[in-house]
Amino acid sequence: MMSTGYEIRWHGRGGQGAKTAALLLADVAFKTGKYVQGFPEYGPERMGAPITAFNRISEVPIRVHSNIYTPDLVVVVDETLLHTVDVTAGLKADGAVIVNTAMSEAEVRPLLGGYQGRIYTVDARKISMECLGKYFPNSPMLAAAVAVSKVMDKDEFIADMQASYQHKFAKKPEVIEGNMKALKMTLEVFENTADENVEKSA
């Protein structure tokens, strides 16, 4: 009944960039002509505290200004949250959850409170270390969210992100290439696993 578009909930820890990822996703979705919302929910402002961020992406103007309780997609940026936060609460049965972990989908499923829908894993640490030499999970997780949600075309996403990073990292241009590489590498991982998963759940 409610037409609030496609809803995404991000779970991360302060300092990992979950909020930035949500704002960047709003940014690129806007460029494809969509109506967007990207906003964080702040708890205690400190590094490492659990934080939540949200996206609504819609073909029509968005008026609702509440948090998201029945998301289409949940993105877990920090797997240690699986033990303390009910990340799949309210997640739609035909939705999906993406977890940043080295574990397989089968290994992570028991930690997701009996969620029966699509589950994806992505090793953002490995990708980030390889592309950036440092652990910044938000670029791989952003690419994963785009790959799974299909809110926009992948080529369009890559082109827009190049511009977004040039703006965001105007004072740190040396990190742009690594972040772009991380996005592309993640998309490649999902080229294969995403399709497999869809077939499985079909």
Partner 1 sequence: MAIKDRMSGNEAVAYAIRQVNPDVMPAFPITPSTEIPQMVSTYIANGEMDTEFIPVESEHSSMSAAIGSEAAGARSLTATSSAGLALMWEELLLAASNRMPLVLTLVNRTLSGPININCDHSDGMGARDTGWIQIYAENNQEAYDNFIQAYPIAEHADVHLPVMVCQDGFITSHAVENIELMEDGVVKDFVGEYEPEEYLLNPGKPIAVGPYSVSNYAMEAKKNQEIALERSKEVILQVAEAFEKISGRKYGLFEEYRTEDADYIMLIMGSAAGTAKQAVDDLRLQGKKVGVVKLRVFRPFPAKELAKALSRCKAVAIMDRCESYNGNGGPLGSEVTSGLYRNKVMIETVNYIYGLAGRDFTVNEVYDVFAQLENMIENGQQAEQYQYIGLRKQEAPSE
Nearer to partner 1, 25 or 112 (CB): 25
Least Å distance between CB 151 and partner 1? 14
Nearer to partner 1, 18 or 96 (CB): 18
Q: Are strands 118-122 and 96-100 parallel, antiparallel or unpaired?
A: parallel
Nearer to partner 1, 63 or 200 (CB): 63
Least Å distance between CB 31 and partner 1? 9
**Which residues contact partner 1 by CB under 8 A?**
1-2, 4, 23, 26-27, 30, 35-42, 45, 61-67, 69
Cα torsion angle, 55, 139, 194, 76, sign = negative
Cα angle at 121 between 192 and 90, to 5 degrees? 120
Least Å distance between CB 128 and partner 1? 24
Least Å distance between CB 117 and partner 1? 22
Nearer to partner 1, 135 or 169 (CB): 169
Query: Tokens for 199?
Result: 């077939």
List Cβ<8 Å contacts ≥24 apart for 63-71. Answer: 64/2, 64/4, 67/41, 68/7, 68/8, 68/9, 70/7, 71/7, 71/8, 71/9, 71/95
